[in-house]
């Protein structure tokens, strides 16, 4: 029944070509741009990549000409979520994975503003606009020193980013900037209800983990924000040696929580890294800001009232 329902929805939402692109997304070498707005794929919000691929393989006719209306979508969503709840005793998933930057927490001030403010005493003269453009360019360049950008504390990568963005290679400037982003002053939580929601989820038996492309500063940062105890596990790319959209980091999170990939849903703000990566690992995935806009909504979709 689950595959039948998924296939129906898939036919209504997309052509075979679009679905094939979804399934291969994380294998095409996309790189993460934290300043690019995430593109909504809310139409795929309850598919794993394996289910999408199965639907494509089964669908050999021309794409459906049906026009999806709200009532049909609601009906299919309800059918699928009811199926999941029957599997898990009233819940749609046994575990929730949460992306860090852009979903759980965000910088308190624009990056270019901080780079310039701290950099003025070190001779940085670029405007915030120039810093931002140079940052974007540097971030998109191939990182040839390692297959990972964030190795251990990530210093070599961030030294390259800071010097490329500002034109300043002063080691003292870099250290001040690097340490700033390990403090609670630099970040704030996206959702003020997060703690209450995560407590309710865990009380209901849903395990919660952070899954993030980050260096080893993430754990001390979560402690500084006093939210490290909200989670049953933290999967950091620098520690597990795999960065989203590589499915390995999601599979590591499953291993930490002792669950199967199909038991988990991942919530993140990046279409390629979070949505396609999670689905390639066999997890469900919801796009933050499109499929869900608050952690309370996440909990409600899982079947937990807060």
Dihedral angle, C-alpha 264, 270, 271, 277, nearest 10 °: -50
φ/ψ of residue 234, rounded to 5: -135, 120
Residue 84 pLDDT: 78
- The pLDDT score that the predictor gives to residue 141 is 87
pLDDT, position 248: 97
The pLDDT of residue 296 is above 60: yes
In this structure, are residues 244 and 156 in contact, taking their beta carbons and an 8 Å threshold?
A: no
Q: What mean pLDDT do residues 8-12 have?
A: 45
* d(C-alpha 250, C-alpha 142), whole Å: 23
DSSP H helices, 204-246, are 218-224, 237-240
pLDDT band at 29 (very low <50, low <70, confident <90, very high): very low
Complete DSSP assignment for 123-147: T----HHHHHHHHHHHHHS--TT-S
Full-model pTM: 0.76
CA dist., res. 60 & res. 215, Å (int): 44
Per-residue CA distances from 106 to 19, 102, 178, 271 (Å): 31, 5, 16, 17
Query: What digits encode the pLDDT tens for the residues 261-287?
Result: 999 999 999 999 999 999 999 999 999
Q: Name the least confident of 78-92, 191-205, 221-235.
A: 78-92
Percent of the chain with pLDDT over 90: 66
Task: Write the CA distances from 134 to 80, 165, 181, 305, integer angstroms.
Answer: 45, 5, 19, 45
- Token pair in block for residue 296: 């309370």
Helix (H, G, I), strand (E, B) or coil at 105: strand
User: Which of these ranges, 144-148, 159-163, 203-207, 214-218, has the smallest mean pLDDT?
Assistant: 144-148
């Amino acid at each position: 029944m689950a595959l039948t329902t998924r296939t129906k929805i898939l036919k209504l939402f997309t052509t075979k070509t679009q679905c094939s692109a979804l399934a291969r997304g994380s294998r095409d070498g996309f790189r993460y741009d934290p300043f690019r707005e995430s593109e909504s794929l809310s139409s795929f919000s309850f598919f794993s990549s394996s289910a999408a691929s199965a639907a494509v393989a089964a669908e050999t006719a021309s794409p459906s000409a049906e026009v999806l209306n709200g009532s049909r979508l609601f009906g299919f969503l309800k059918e699928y979520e009811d199926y999941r709840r029957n599997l898990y005793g009233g819940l749609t998933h046994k575990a929730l994975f949460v992306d860090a930057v852009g979903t759980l927490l965000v910088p308190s001030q624009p990056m270019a503003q901080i780079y310039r403010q701290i950099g003025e005493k070190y001779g940085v003269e670029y405007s915030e606009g120039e810093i931002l453009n140079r940052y974007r360019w540097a971030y998109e360049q191939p990182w040839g020193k390692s297959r990972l950008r964030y190795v251990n504390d990530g210093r070599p990568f961030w030294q390259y980013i800071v010097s490329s963005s500002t034109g300043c290679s002063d080691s003292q400037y870099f250290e001040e900037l690097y340490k700033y982003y390990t403090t609670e002053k630099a970040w704030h939580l996206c959702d003020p209800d997060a703690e209450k929601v995560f407590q309710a989820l865990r009380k209901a038996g849903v395990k919660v983990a952070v899954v993030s492309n980050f260096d080893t500063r993430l754990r001390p940062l979560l402690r500084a924000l006093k939210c490290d105890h909200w989670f049953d596990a933290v999967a950091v790319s620098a520690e597990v040696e795999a960065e989203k959209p590589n499915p390995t980091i999601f599979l590591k999170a499953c291993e930490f929580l002792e669950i199967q990939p199909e038991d988990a849903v991942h919530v993140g703000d990046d279409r390629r890294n979070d949505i396609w990566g999670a689905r390639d690992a066999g997890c469900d995935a919801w796009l933050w800001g499109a499929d869900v806009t608050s952690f309370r909504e996440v909990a409600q979709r899982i079947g937990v009232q807060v």
